[in-house]
Amino acid sequence: MRTPARFILNLLVVATLLLSAGHVAPARAQGDPDQFIARLISQMTPEAKVGQLFVITFPGTEIGSNSDIAELVSTFRVGGVILSTANGNITSTTNAPTQVAGLTSSLQNLARSAANVPGPGGRQTPFIPLFVAVEQSGNG
């Protein structure tokens, strides 16, 4: 990978982590991280706990409310997604960082909108940011 492209990709990953962590950091600052995690897990439905174990791929860039990825994030609370050019998630060769940032932001908003919505048994699962991975191959 060329040095400028690697720098941009690293910058994008760091920015995504910082933006995602900003929504969880206030609760973590209130006490012991182990207690925070235990409290978070205790609030999750069994379905959400299982969903967090999955990091999935999906085709294209469509993430509207009727898309398969929207259902997987909103209903099944998957833990993360893998973005790749092979699946058509990244289509722009000149503006890829902006496209990945926009897609990542939209996916995180899907996860955020699914948070605190009553699931089975009326239990609400708190917002947990998606783990987002990018598969890059080649020189573009």
Residue 99 predicted with pLDDT over 50: yes
pTM of the model: 0.71
d(CA 91, CA 139) in angstroms, rounded, equals: 14
d(CA 49, CA 41) in angstroms, rounded, equals: 7
Sign of the torsion formed by the C-alpha atoms of 105, 112, 18 and 14 = negative
Strand runs (DSSP E) across 1-140, as ranges?
55-57, 80-84, 131-135
| Element counts in the chain: helices (H) and strands (E) | 6, 3
**To the nearest whole number, what is the mean pLDDT of the chain?**
81
| Mean pLDDT of the region 28-37 | 78
Q: At 135, is the secondary structure helix, strand, or coil?
A: strand
Residue 7 predicted with pLDDT over 90: no
pLDDT at 106: 95
Q: How many CB atoms lie within 10 A of CB 53?
A: 9
Provide the pLDDT confidence category of residue 28 given band limits of 50, 70 and 90.
very low
Please report, rounded to a whole number, the percentage of residues in the chain having pLDDT higher than 70. Answer: 74
Q: Which two tokens stand for residue 140?
A: 């573009």
Tens of pLDDT, residue by residue over 53-89, are 999 999 999 999 899 999 999 888 999 999 998 999 9
Which residue's entry shows tokens 């990018």?
A: 134
What helix, strand, coil percent values describe the chain, rounded to 5? 50, 10, 40
Which residue's entry shows tokens 């791929």?
A: 57
